[in-house]
Structure 1
């Protein structure tokens, strides 16, 4: 763990996952992002059978409800536009976003690669000022106060919510976690170390930023001092909603009512609701807290009595839950957060009705009966897939009254967890990825109720207990253990739902569950994608059908791959799928996180048609720089624009020896017009030249 001596000498702390990262990512990312989750025992020790199979849903995703926003203030232009790097010739004439797939890029390449005929530039980077040009970024002179006024670190979920004319927009991005070893020079005093910790607290959370441009299909610039610009940090006040709000399980000495909480942590993926708010998932919150580590709740959530990687407990007692009065502080994280980007003065909300676990994110559709349905994955080995169905119905329209009502939809409803059943004999699921005799991994599933309209349906659990210790309740209910459900995205037109299982190298190990039909490979290093169809094509249904769309990997070296029947020798190699987007043709776009550690290529963004003769054809569109992952894809093919969040470039470097110079690519150590010779997580736009 990080110590003062480690910081002062610039040495890396001991990394428990060093030498054990054949799967998803580097040991540094494991340490900082998920508190070395794979080094510790799997939190799910329940005896649930892996029932074998899954399904899902309906309606549309984004809805732009805001009017044109007046742009004002000084304009900050990102770094110089990066030249598009050549790939194979082409693209199909006349097709928007037509491209020839790029060749896989070696993991060590510190370059952002796009197809021939495209260009790229950052819209905004870590440290760019949001409220005043006087808050300009200087990595040698950062303070917590400055960071609260600058774009945060390690952006993940992303959306670009455009105004009606297409010349103004709001960018919303999560800031998931920090890497102090490459953000700061080594601390030389305890006081400097504590200030770096406070800066890191301010670098977490979310950023909301207004954009403008002069023409459609052209790059955006962001506006310093715009009225809707906002930073939400690990110290921002939040309100609890739902049945657990006010519960004794949420009360602390700082909040004796259990109704408010400071901050949001580990904000991973998310979603934009049909009523125009943004949801964010609090994922790896356990790594921020030191606890007694003895309760069933602590053990199930990976909380332990050990010093944290960042040492925030040294500057804020709430991060040491052994401190009298703060025992419940970890219960106050692990929720879906809702933020209104159109109202910078509205307090963000944590929705207890959607349960507490390592939320990757949440995506909302409207079912046939008008109720809002949110799909959610718990990003942990052998954990579960969930959905929430609102009690009240959605009111269409953009009036203030309708919007005010719709913003309450996630406060009350029913919470379910998925149980999958396969339709092939167990002996045919060999763990190798070989298809069973019926030619598909598929079957049926059911949504098991945990809470129905605010009433617990789990024996021995009150409603509050279900919503605070959701994992324990789902264990009792008998949910199917999955290979790390990350993004769960409803298709905007087909009514299907896509569940991304990023990987699980523990499947099939001694004492752990082996292959089952919805998770058919042991040592699942490359991950897979499941396609769900809800009964009656209604998102609020309680049963579904499912099939596996993709078994990811590099077909050149892995014979267990499957691409919906498309010839494996004609696809781009893909590993560790993470985030999902859709374009106007209905094609799926997959962002990856962890390919360098598995197939040796950089992470990227891939297009996958879902219909017709090219169904399952994976085509790589872009590749991100050394040691980075691709996050939060937004695809606007009608506008000929693609957006991604580039997270943790140069993750394995140090202050003295940086491993990436993305996105500015200026001389190491220099600082010119806000550009710095070191990595800066950024939001990037790609457009057709």
Structure 2
């Protein structure tokens, strides 16, 4: 049965984002809502040629009458059976099963899970006897983004796999955890369980299984205590200096990494998101400018939830007022060069980064698209000054790793083309039968030049939210993944949800507008954006809403004009990926708003099935579906925080995934492949 009340369970709310939805949004700006003013993976061969990475997605599912629980209807020009090419699989029935559930004819396998060794010599996981030293060499907690780049060696199929570890849920990690009095060892374990992992994996072409390799050259962890370099125009700024780093160029740790992306030059990007929650005692900031900045980024006035400040002064704003400014960036990692320290790119701005994804211009400049994942926040892009070099020499790779260090940062302003009276907040289409319009990219800064009155360039980069407020950017419904299509160049925006839009009595709200057309937007939507001339450097664009998510039986939903009887229910689109046929794939976060598990959906973008969502796989009870990686012959998803239900604990776990009875739930990477006619793996979606 569908439920109308969206709810993310308590522990996830508390430990992922500091219960952001329970607090007033930190955006108090009065920016207009412009309805009121009318205002890859690409085929594996392509990935190998580009030297880039495969990308994967994940989704959600229970039984809904009249929706896609049977084979899709015929679609001319598609694969056998009538479905679009790459999506010819039987939809998974929405469910609440405590397992990874896949389409009939497909199999799944756990590749790696929390605590498994990454660094050679690290011990096997022992839930009852954890240590910070062990965790520093083991797979971290709550893996979110996953990416692959090819590793050419031997005759097998080898890859470098990258995973980030968004956040920890200490009450599920330790027996008898006392949130008011964590031990120092528990704090150190938590810090080491954050961060990033790089490891070698091999795929068996006969069986389809993917296995980690204990490689001494490439396998490594970058945790919450590892060393990161700062580059770009704000590197060395007084705003980034601390007592431990008087240069403002070296940071210990990366925190709350959410989604990510793979670059055409073969590196990984990952976004630091809800970093505000790790820092305590913002009440110690007394100057008005500092108070405004702290409030705009949602810094905690008193003690933090995890209490890390008790054992490490860098998390205490009273002692280190600039330390929070060193988090909230896009981080780049070169998996092929273990000696290259990961870099925090200040030129891409500081906010709650969901991730960053790259499109190259015709002359090779890198354009990064980004979302700030909080209610009423903004969509950004960055255009590099320099062009990518196509070689693979050390000098070429060093050059390409510098592309995101200098360029121009923009924020988006959307305008609708329908009369405001036709946008009534119900999701009813206006008279022109489309939620659509135009928009512009507004310059914020380029190098040492600021385009925002009253702010220096350094201030724009470090306090990007305040800069975007001042230029009148459009407040959106939690912009998460923002990703360009590898074939068409169209840009897709996942707006996860915003239950405060138009909500009566909310301290900070705003009415529905054409790019965000529903009040109390429980289930989110997806926007398709086309830049002028299909030029990624253009400063104007057109846009339209592809999906208004939710129960297809709800009149407030829209699926690109597709037949709703053939659509899988979907809520809270989060991560985006594409397959080699050009289909969109969506992983969801909070399918529980529909009373179903989260999952991975294939979405048709062309022809009579445009907008049709087809559920491919679901994750276990309490889990969120993340990742993702979509290959020709396999899919990788991240099953994050399995068993995260209210009142769950190690003594009473709410999930037994992935190890079954007698075990604790462990976040994991999952491999999915189709069983071919000869018993070996076949192609995804035919």
CA distance in 2, matches of 1:189, 1:397: 51
Alignment partner, residue 112 of structure 2: 124
Corresponding position: 1:305 with 2:301: yes
CA distances 1:219-238 after superposition (whole Å, capped 9, x unpaired): 11101244200101011111
Alignment partner, residue 375 of structure 1: 369
Corresponding position: 1:615 with 2:610: yes
Corresponding position: 1:258 with 2:241: no
**Contact 1:147–1:203 (CA<8 Å) still a contact in 2?**
yes
Corresponding position: 1:570 with 2:556: no
Within the candidate set 656, 671, 674, 1:685 is matched to 671
Corresponding position: 1:42 with 2:25: yes
**Contact 1:24–1:595 (CA<8 Å) still a contact in 2?**
no
**In the superposition, relative to structure 1, how do residues 588 and 67 fare at CA in structure 2: closer, same or farther (>3 Å)?**
closer
Shift of residue 183, structure 1, vs aligned partner? 1.0
Within the candidate set 310, 316, 321, 1:320 is matched to 316
Corresponding position: 1:509 with 2:503: yes
Give the SS at the match of 1:135: coil
Within the candidate set 618, 623, 640, 1:628 is matched to 623
**Contact 2:623–2:641 (CA<8 Å) still a contact in 1?**
yes
**Contact 1:60–1:366 (CA<8 Å) still a contact in 2?**
no
> Which deviates the most, 529-538 or 212-221?
212-221
**Contact 1:167–1:216 (CA<8 Å) still a contact in 2?**
no
Give unpaired runs (5+ residues) of structure 1. Answer: 1-19, 54-58, 69-86, 669-676
Alignment partner, residue 604 of structure 1: 599
Within the candidate set 513, 518, 521, 2:518 is matched to 521
CA distance in 1, matches of 2:612, 2:619: 21
Alignment partner, residue 278 of structure 1: 268
**In the superposition, relative to structure 1, how do residues 146 and 231 fare at CA in structure 2: closer, same or farther (>3 Å)?**
same
CA distance in 1, matches of 2:363, 2:179: 61
Give the SS at the match of 1:31: helix
**In the superposition, relative to structure 1, how do residues 613 and 335 fare at CA in structure 2: closer, same or farther (>3 Å)?**
same
CA distance in 2, matches of 1:397, 1:571: 44
Alignment partner, residue 137 of structure 1: 125
Shift of residue 618, structure 1, vs aligned partner? 0.5
**Contact 1:65–1:275 (CA<8 Å) still a contact in 2?**
no
Alignment partner, residue 589 of structure 2: 593
CA distance in 2, matches of 1:459, 1:420: 21
Structure 1 segments of 4 or more deviating over 3 A? 59-68, 87-98, 163-166, 187-192
Corresponding position: 1:644 with 2:641: no
CA distance in 1, matches of 2:198, 2:87: 27
Give the SS at the match of 1:664: coil
Alignment partner, residue 539 of structure 2: 542
CA distance in 1, matches of 2:92, 2:5: 25
**Contact 1:530–1:549 (CA<8 Å) still a contact in 2?**
yes
CA distance in 2, matches of 1:41, 1:67: 44
Shift of residue 392, structure 1, vs aligned partner? 1.1
Shift of residue 215, structure 1, vs aligned partner? 2.1
**In the superposition, relative to structure 1, how do residues 650 and 223 fare at CA in structure 2: closer, same or farther (>3 Å)?**
same
CA distance in 1, matches of 2:385, 2:207: 40
CA distances 1:193-242 after superposition (whole Å, capped 9, x unpaired): 22011101000001111011342671111012442001010111111101
**Contact 1:92–1:99 (CA<8 Å) still a contact in 2?**
no
CA distance in 1, matches of 2:218, 2:141: 20
Alignment partner, residue 29 of structure 1: 12
**Contact 2:87–2:602 (CA<8 Å) still a contact in 1?**
no
CA distances 1:485-522 after superposition (whole Å, capped 9, x unpaired): 00001000001000000000000024521100000000
CA distance in 1, matches of 2:379, 2:122: 46
CA distances 1:103-137 after superposition (whole Å, capped 9, x unpaired): 1113xx21210011111011101000122355111
Corresponding position: 1:243 with 2:236: no
Shift of residue 371, structure 1, vs aligned partner? 1.3
CA distances 1:404-456 after superposition (whole Å, capped 9, x unpaired): 21110100010000000000000000100000000100010000000134410
Shift of residue 305, structure 1, vs aligned partner? 1.3
Alignment partner, residue 463 of structure 1: 457
**Contact 1:21–1:27 (CA<8 Å) still a contact in 2?**
no
> Which deviates the most, 397-406 or 123-132?
397-406
> Which deviates the most, 533-542 or 96-105?
96-105
Matches within 5 A, 1:372-521: 372-510=366-504, 512-521=509-518
CA distance in 1, matches of 2:177, 2:664: 18
**Contact 1:65–1:398 (CA<8 Å) still a contact in 2?**
no
Alignment partner, residue 75 of structure 1: none
CA distances 1:573-613 after superposition (whole Å, capped 9, x unpaired): 000000011001000010000011x1001000000011111
CA distance in 1, matches of 2:440, 2:180: 54
CA distance in 1, matches of 2:491, 2:437: 15
Alignment partner, residue 288 of structure 2: none
**Contact 1:501–1:527 (CA<8 Å) still a contact in 2?**
yes
Shift of residue 270, structure 1, vs aligned partner? 0.5
Corresponding position: 1:579 with 2:572: no
Alignment partner, residue 528 of structure 2: 531
Alignment partner, residue 198 of structure 1: 188
Shift of residue 651, structure 1, vs aligned partner? 1.1
Alignment partner, residue 104 of structure 1: 94
TM-score normalized by the length of structure 1: 0.88
**In the superposition, relative to structure 1, how do residues 626 and 565 fare at CA in structure 2: closer, same or farther (>3 Å)?**
same
CA distances 1:601-653 after superposition (whole Å, capped 9, x unpaired): 1000000011111111100000100000000111112xx21110110000121
Give unpaired runs (5+ residues) of structure 2. Answer: 37-41, 53-68, 73-78, 286-290, 676-686
**Contact 2:575–2:626 (CA<8 Å) still a contact in 1?**
yes
**Contact 1:64–1:163 (CA<8 Å) still a contact in 2?**
no
Alignment partner, residue 140 of structure 2: 152
TM-score normalized by the length of structure 2: 0.88
Shift of residue 63, structure 1, vs aligned partner? 4.8
Shift of residue 258, structure 1, vs aligned partner? 0.6
Count the aligned residue pairs: 630
**In the superposition, relative to structure 1, how do residues 453 and 535 fare at CA in structure 2: closer, same or farther (>3 Å)?**
farther
**Contact 1:52–1:480 (CA<8 Å) still a contact in 2?**
no
**In the superposition, relative to structure 1, how do residues 89 and 352 fare at CA in structure 2: closer, same or farther (>3 Å)?**
closer
Shift of residue 364, structure 1, vs aligned partner? 0.9
Shift of residue 368, structure 1, vs aligned partner? 2.4
Matches within 5 A, 1:46-195: 46-52=29-35, 63-64=47-48, 92=80, 98-106=88-96, 109-132=97-120, 135-163=123-151, 167-187=157-177, 193-195=183-185
**In the superposition, relative to structure 1, how do residues 680 and 21 fare at CA in structure 2: closer, same or farther (>3 Å)?**
farther
CA distance in 2, matches of 1:367, 1:443: 24
**Contact 2:31–2:469 (CA<8 Å) still a contact in 1?**
yes
CA distance in 2, matches of 1:187, 1:600: 29
Give the SS at the match of 2:28: coil
**Contact 1:414–1:454 (CA<8 Å) still a contact in 2?**
no
